[in-house]
Amino acid sequence: MTFLLQKTDKNSKARAGLISTAHGDIQTPIFMPVGTAGTVKAVHFQELKNDIKAQIILSNTYHLYLRPGIDILQKAGGLHKFNGWDKPILTDSGGFQVFSLAENRKLKEEGAIFHSHIDGSKHLFTPEKVIDIQRSIGADIIMAFDECPSGTADYDYAKKSMELTHRWLTRCVKRFEETEQLYGYQQSLFPIVQGCVYTDLRRRSAEFIASQNADGNAIGGLAVGEPTEKMYEMIEIVNEILPTDKPRYLMGVGTPQNILEAIERGVDMFDCVMPTRNGRNGMIFTSEGIINLRNEKWKNDFSPLDENGTSFVDYSYSKSYVRHLFHAKELLAMQIASIHNLAFYLNLVEQARQHIIEGDFSAWKKTMTEKVSRRI
């Protein structure tokens, strides 16, 4: 994997770049649709490619390990062959999923013992095992195994958690270096900065992560309960330390406003379930703000979902019609909303990229942030 930094905004730290992988190029900043179990819910890959214009998707180690299982994925020749997606894939290590099962897992120096949310079976994730699993999945970019503490964790817990993440990273790197890719193309390992909302911990973690000289670096443990302004502060602190010649991935974030603020602070890659999860519940993101299609006010509104036509791929669907589909409990409602929201997110980061290249990102971002953050 390579990263070419093409342009940096003159008034901020916003960047436009190009990530090259064995399965294609990724223009940054980029949003990655979340395909947890190897599929983006309610969306065909044809729509992801042609309509949404996704360049990379994210899948999850924890979920794929439990179902369909690593044996199936290896027999298929990896996730790309199994699901038919021929563009880049990133896999989250499963750390967040394991640690969100607070009542069903136990942390040890060796790793994390957890019980499956599917059948209650007991499993152990170690840093070594997580690398092995991701080798079998075959994603282009794989994540180190980490602990993701709550955004409200106290200092002592955050410090111990960060130190454990660093020790686990050392083991991940060792395992990664002593194993080979299984399907004939390179994989890249990204370490993850932790440290909760504590400035000294974030600096210390960013320095340790930067010292690994990985192909790219991730910022974890944000958007997990801390105040939004703290999240932005931590991004700024970390990005002062992470190398400028490597892509920076902010994990699990977030709203359109969050993404624009993070781009301004030098982040290149994003993922979040919000566009699809919220879409399946009737929340639509538009270039003029956020609407809840279940509300009565849209019953007689026959205008397109996004009247400016900046994000949606089929303007024939009206607010009234899609609202009707939601109230009729038609599955098509969830599909239309998911496609719309993902197209909006991908269009948003593409616009950000163009304005970075053109040199007017800061002015555009100010206007756009005001629009996308308001409720209509």
Known active-site residue 92: yes
Phi-psi region for residue 186, left (φ > 0), alpha (ψ -120 to 50) or beta?
beta
Neighbours of 283 (CB within 10 A): 18
Amino acid letter, 6: Q
Neighbours of 150 (CB within 10 A): 17
Phi-psi region for residue 53, left (φ > 0), alpha (ψ -120 to 50) or beta?
left
Give the C-alpha separation, 318 to 56, whole Å.
29
DSSP string, 18-76: EEEETTEEEEESEEE-B-TTSS-TT--HHHHHHTS--S-EEEEHHHHHHTT-HHHHHHH
Task: Give the three-class secondary structure for 351.
Answer: helix
Give the C-alpha separation, 64 to 105, whole Å.
18
Amino acid letter, 177: E
Count the alpha carbons within 13 Å of 96 in the hemisphere toward its beta carbon.
19
Give the C-alpha separation, 41 to 131, whole Å.
26
Angle at 248 between CA 244 and CA 254, to 5 degrees: 140
Count the alpha carbons within 13 Å of 246 in the hemisphere toward its beta carbon.
22
Active-site residue, from 9, 51, 92, 268: 92
Known active-site residue 156: no
Active-site residue, from 140, 268, 271, 306: 271
Task: Give the three-class secondary structure for 91.
Answer: strand
Which residues are known to be catalytic? 92, 271
